[in-house]
Amino acid sequence: MLEITNLVKRYGRNDPVLKGLNLSVDGSSVVSIVGASGAGKSTMLRCINRLVEPTSGSIKLNGHELVNLRGSELRHSRRRIGMVFQGFNLIDRLTVMENVLSGRLGYVSFFQALTRRFPQTDINRAFNLMERVGIAHYANKRADQLSGGERQRVAVVRALMQEPEILLADEPTASLDPKTSQQIMRLLQTLASEMSLPVLINIHNVTQARMYTDRIVGMRHGQMIFDGAPKDFNQDALDAIYGGIESPEEDSGEPQHQTAQEALA
Amino acid sequence: MVDHAAKLSDHVWSRYDRKEQWTRYAVYLATLIAIVWAVRDIDIFWPWVWDAPNQIQSLGARMWPPRFDTWNAIFHAMLETVHIATLSTMLTIFIALPVSYIAAQNTTPNKATLWLGRFILVSSRSVNTIIWALLFVAIFGPGVLAGILAVMFRSVGFIGKLMGEAIEEIDRRPVEAMEATGASKMKVVLYAIVPQVMPAFFAIIILRWDINIRESTVLGLVGAGGIGVLLQGSIDLFAWQTVATILLAIVALVILGEAVTSALRKKVI
């Protein structure tokens, strides 16, 4: 159960990117968050695992407050939040297996991480998950030798290695071709129900949001302006979210842009 | 149609506008002035310059043929030279890596450490190996130890600066992903940064080892060990035939070093 209340994020002295956002997600529901570039989707997702520091508000995961955590407390909470990125964010020069096991970095000691001596249970879990998504035969290949869809599967497995209580996906299909992106969406959907894991997906593709998710949240200018089932997501809602904004699909560089801003702030 | 063509022919284009053009002329003039000034100021004693061909001929005659009777001593001095280069490069790594970590903007803990790192790099780089050697010979006395320390102190700046730049150029996205797993700072460095800078690391170390071999050959001129000690001794004794052998040996060593490093480079990168 994730509860976001009155979340505000402001970069420097600019207008807030998130203006008092409220959202709660329970059980194993797959929620898609749609909105034009700059609506604050990516910022909201990154506030949850504190890659972005919220300005004010509260975020609770299973009753546990995430805002204001520091040091090891923050790292312990992050272990329970898996994240999948638009650019996959794999470590290219390491093998698939090393990438997958890096999901356990929050649990193992520095020495174990250095010598790549992960506990047997972790290795078993890694192989099970890799077999589940069909990449087990790549275990010893370098991550940069895989195709886009395969790389995103590695990233999903890495996130699941954390034994997360929630999975965040920031435009997980925006760098993939249409067919592969459908496969990844279907994978996220089935994994969510298999593991009864709530999944939050930022997505530009409204058709896929309708097809693969249980609930759609529409954002504009840092505020939530739609929250409902895919069947209720009609033309009016679409206009309200994207209206007056030219071709929202065009600019997919939003997350990078925002992290750059964060770095400057 | 005709009007249109006339309009087109009116387009004027030049690579530089007037202001840029004058700036360029000013730069040319300044360069010329600097050269003329330098040549007039440095006070060359021209008769010696005109006498140079004779001197070269006479020195050449005194060097020929090279004497190989001391080859054993030369060989050992050469080995010592290589040892100085290798040891100092190895030891430098342990100092240069932490320094590069705090001198890179994206990994340094805070502003103070950033400036500390940069200060170490700049002070190491701004002093030449030979001057470091003079300093360490004065402190530790003549010998190999002073040579190793001198090469190390110069290499820290070189390796630290290039590694710092390599760290600054990494892709930030894996770092973000590792932070999101709940990994501690050191584990993030280990998984997201180290693999990305590995190729640069090997290239830099090999390059510096190559440079250090060449630098180690002159250390002996100030008494800091290596082949330079023999060279200085032979020059002092006017043993020009031995000097010729030593110069040949240095050329051979540098070529050998070049061959080894280029082979290594192909292997690791």
The confidence score (pLDDT) of residue A109 equals 94
Q: Is residue B6 part of a domain?
A: no
CATH number of residue A15's parent domain: 3.40.50.300
- Stretch A108-129: mean pLDDT: 94
Which chain A residues touch B173 with a CB distance below 8 Å? Answer: 85, 87, 89
Q: d(Cα A169, Cα A163) in Å, to the nearest integer?
A: 15
Lowest mean pLDDT: which of A16-25, A80-89, B117-126? A16-25
Q: Are residues B105 and B210 in the same domain?
A: yes
Q: Are residues B205 and B95 in the same domain?
A: yes
The confidence score (pLDDT) of residue A260 equals 43
Q: Is residue B55 part of a domain?
A: yes
Any B CB within 8 A of A87 CB = yes
For the cut 80, the answer to whether the pLDDT of residue A248 exceeds it is: no
The confidence score (pLDDT) of residue B5 equals 57
Q: Are residues B184 and B247 in the same domain?
A: yes
Decide which of B14 and B190 is more confident.
B190
Q: Is residue B2 part of a domain?
A: no
Any B CB within 8 A of A89 CB = yes
Q: Is residue A107 part of a domain?
A: no
The residue among B21, B40, B62 that closes a domain is B62
Q: Structural domain tally of chain B?
A: 2
Q: Is residue B201 part of a domain?
A: yes
Q: Are residues B42 and B120 in the same domain?
A: no
Q: List the strands of the sheet with A18-25, edge to edge.
A: A18-25, A2-9, A56-61, A64-65
For the cut 80, the answer to whether the pLDDT of residue A258 exceeds it is: no
Residue in B176, B181, B198 nearest the CB of A259? B176
Which chain B residues touch A90 with a CB distance below 8 Å? Answer: 174, 177
Nearest-CA distance A234 → chain B (Å): 35
Q: Are residues B91 and B159 in the same domain?
A: yes
Instruction: Return the residue of A nearest to B192 by Cα.
Output: A91
Contact A75 B182 (CB under 8 A): yes
Note the pLDDT tens digit of each residue in B225-235: 888 888 999 99
pLDDT band at A246 (very low <50, low <70, confident <90, very high): low
Contact B182 A93 (CB under 8 A): no
Instruction: Provide the β-strand partners of residue B11.
Output: none
Nearest-CA distance A103 → chain B (Å): 6
Nearest-CA distance A18 → chain B (Å): 21
Q: What is the overall mean pLDDT for chain A?
A: 87
Q: d(Cα A202, Cα A61) in Å, to the nearest integer?
A: 19
Note the pLDDT tens digit of each residue in A208-227: 999 999 999 999 888 898 99
Decide which of A195 and B7 is more confident.
A195
The residue among B39, B62, B85 that closes a domain is B62
- Stretch B77-84: mean pLDDT: 91
ipTM given for this complex: 0.86
Q: Is residue B4 part of a domain?
A: no
Q: Is residue A183 part of a domain?
A: no
- Stretch A154-175: mean pLDDT: 93
For the cut 50, the answer to whether the pLDDT of residue A253 exceeds it is: no
Report residue B36 CA to chain centroid gap.
30
For the cut 50, the answer to whether the pLDDT of residue B49 exceeds it is: yes
Note the pLDDT tens digit of each residue in B195-246: 999 999 999 999 999 999 989 988 888 888 888 888 999 999 988 999 999 9
- Stretch B133-159: mean pLDDT: 93
Q: Are residues B57 and B79 in the same domain?
A: no
User: DSSP 3-state assignment of A226?
Assistant: strand
Residue B34: enclosing H or E segment and its boundaries? Answer: helix B18-41
Q: Are residues B198 and B140 in the same domain?
A: yes
For the cut 80, the answer to whether the pLDDT of residue A142 exceeds it is: yes
CATH number of residue B200's parent domain: 1.10.3720.10
Instruction: Output the CA–CA distances (angstroms, integers) from residue A97 to B19, B178, B209, in the order listed.
Output: 60, 15, 34
For the cut 50, the answer to whether the pLDDT of residue A257 exceeds it is: no
Q: What is the DSSP letter of A142?
A: B
| Residue A221 domain boundaries | 1-78+207-265
Q: Is residue A202 part of a domain?
A: no
Instruction: Return the residue of A nearest to B173 by Cα.
Output: A89
Instruction: Provide the β-strand partners of residue A218.
Output: A34, A226
Q: Which residues contact B248 (CB under 8 A, 6 or more apart)?
A: B66
Best residue of A105, A110, A170, A256 to probe chain B, by most B CBs closer than 10 Å: A105
The confidence score (pLDDT) of residue A245 equals 60
* Lookup result for tokens 């750059």: A260
Q: List the strands of the sheet with A30-34, edge to edge.
A: A81-84, A166-170, A199-202, A30-34, A215-220, A223-228
User: DSSP 3-state assignment of A40?
Assistant: coil
Q: What is the DSSP letter of A78?
A: H
- Stretch B49-77: mean pLDDT: 89
For the cut 60, the answer to whether the pLDDT of residue A265 exceeds it is: no
For the cut 50, the answer to whether the pLDDT of residue A262 exceeds it is: no
Q: Structural domain tally of chain A?
A: 1
Instruction: Return the residue of B nearest to A87 by Cα.
Output: B173
Any B CB within 8 A of A69 CB = no
Assigned token pair, A175: 């760098």
- Stretch A142-171: mean pLDDT: 93
| Residue B46 domain boundaries | 13-62
Based on its alpha-carbon atoms, the radius of gyration of chain A, rounded to whole angstroms, reads 18
Best residue of B170, B172, B175, B181 to probe chain A, by most A CBs closer than 10 Å: B181
pLDDT band at B56 (very low <50, low <70, confident <90, very high): very high
Q: Are residues B127 and B35 in the same domain?
A: no
Q: d(Cα B117, Cα B160) in Å, to the nearest integer?
A: 9
Closest C-alpha to A90, from A167, A30, A148: A148
- Stretch B96-119: mean pLDDT: 94
Contact A102 B181 (CB under 8 A): yes
Q: d(Cα B156, Cα B123) in Å, to the nearest integer?
A: 10
Are A55 and A16 within 8 A, CB to CB?
A: yes
Instruction: Output the CA–CA distances (angstroms, integers) from residue B57 to A43, B54, B61, B62, B67, in the order listed.
Output: 77, 5, 6, 9, 18
Contact A78 B192 (CB under 8 A): no
Note the pLDDT tens digit of each residue in A177-194: 989 999 999 999 999 888
For the cut 80, the answer to whether the pLDDT of residue B9 exceeds it is: no
Assigned token pair, B144: 């190999």
pLDDT band at B13 (very low <50, low <70, confident <90, very high): confident
The confidence score (pLDDT) of residue B8 equals 61
Which chain A residues touch B177 with a CB distance below 8 Å? Answer: 83, 85, 89-90, 102, 155, 158
Q: Which residues contact B165 (CB under 8 A, 6 or more apart)?
A: B104
The confidence score (pLDDT) of residue A29 equals 86
Q: Are residues B36 and B133 in the same domain?
A: no
Q: Which residues contact A50 (CB under 8 A, 6 or more apart)?
A: A66, A67, A69, A74, A77, A78
Q: d(Cα A192, Cα A198) in Å, to the nearest integer?
A: 6
* Lookup result for tokens 């510096």: B208
- Stretch B65-75: mean pLDDT: 87
Q: What is the DSSP letter of B190?
A: I
Share of chain A above pLDDT 90, in %: 58
Q: Is residue A244 part of a domain?
A: yes
